[in-house]
Amino acid sequence: MADRLNGKVVAITGGAAGIGFSTAEACAREGAKLALIDLNGADAEASAAKLKDSKGYAGNVTDEAAMTTAFDAILKDFGQIDGLVNNAGIAGFAPMHEETLEGWERMMAVNVTGTFLASRAVLPGMLERGTGAIVNFGSVAGMVGIPTMASYCAAKGAIVNMTRQMAADYSGKGVRVNAVNPGTVASTGMGKQLLGSDMDPETLAKRLSKYPIGRFGEPKDIAEAVVFLLSDQAAFVTGSLFAVDGGMTAI
C-alpha cells in the first residue's frame, strides 16, 4: 500500500526522532505531507528535510504560546491539518514514595498537558471542516502498573482516558480519536533510557519475559498502527486503545 494518506497533512509532536520520526516516514510513504514539531527546531527541520513536502517547527508541547505559534505556522504553510499524532513524551523512574513533585509535574506537563495543548490547537479547524483524526500515544504503562514508573503510569493512564473522552465529544462531528499503546521499543532514546546500560541481565530478562512474542518492538511496528488509525481505512475506529505490544497486556 502506498497512498492511504494521499494529500493529507499530518502534524507529529516529538516528530524529529524515535517513534515520531519513524511514524513520519511511514506517513510520507503513504502520501502525507508532514509537519514535525520538536523541542529543537533545527532537528525538526533536518528530519522534515528527509521527507517530501514536509516542514519542521520548534515547539515545546508544554508551552501554550509555543504551541499556538507552531500550529498557526503549520496552518499558514499547509492550509489545513488532517491528522495529529500526539507522540511527544518523556519517561521517568521512581516509585511513588520516592518521586519528587518536580518530577511528577514534568511528567504530567509533557505527556498529558502536551496532548491537551496540541489537540486543542488542531480541533477547531478539524471541527470546522468536519473531518480529522487524532492519535494519542499511551503505552502499556497506561494499562498496567510498571514497577518504579509511578508518574509515567499515571500520565499514560490519563492519556488513555483522555482518548475515550475526546472520542465521546468529537466522533459524531467527523473527528476520530484513538490511542496506540506500545510496548517497549528498545532502539529509541526512551527505549535506551528504559533498558539503560546499568540494567543487569536478570532485570532485562525479566522485562523481556513479559512479551509473549519474544522480542521488544521496533519503531516501525508502532508507525504502521498509527498510519492505519490516521487513514480512512479506520473510518469506523474511534475511542479505541490499540495495543501494539507483542501481547504484553494480553497475559
> What is the binding site for ligand 1HS (CB under 6 A)?
91, 139-141, 146, 184, 190, 194, 207, 210, 248
* Angle made by CA atoms 226, 167, 159, in degrees to the nearest 5: 65
User: For residue 34, what is the enclosing H or E element?
Assistant: strand 33-38
Active site residue 152: yes
Query: For binding to ligand NAI (CB under 6 A), which residues are involved?
Result: 13-14, 16-20, 38-39, 60-62, 87-91, 110, 114, 137, 139, 182, 184-185, 188-191, 194
Nearest CB to ligand NAI, comparing residues 127 and 161: 161
Catalytic residue among 57, 152, 170, 211: 152
Query: 167 burial class (0-12, 13-18, 19+ CB within 10 angstroms)?
Result: buried
C-alpha–C-alpha distance, residues 229 and 82, integer Å:
12
The runs of H, that is alpha helices, within 79-200 are 101-107, 114-129, 150-170, 189-194
**Residue of 47, 128, 43, 120 lying closest to 84 (CA atoms):** 120
**Which partner, ligand NAI, ligand 1HS, none, binds residue 87 by CB below 5 to 8 Å per kind?**
ligand NAI
Query: 72 burial class (0-12, 13-18, 19+ CB within 10 angstroms)?
Result: exposed
Residue type, 166: M
**Which partner, ligand 1HS, ligand NAI, none, binds residue 207 by CB below 5 to 8 Å per kind?**
ligand 1HS
| CB 119, min distance to ligand NAI, A | 14
| CB 76, min distance to ligand NAI, A | 20
Nearest CB to ligand 1HS, comparing residues 28 and 143: 143
**Which partner, ligand NAI, ligand 1HS, none, binds residue 38 by CB below 5 to 8 Å per kind?**
ligand NAI
C-alpha–C-alpha distance, residues 245 and 181, integer Å:
7
Nearest CB to ligand 1HS, comparing residues 113 and 184: 184
Residues known to be catalytic: 152
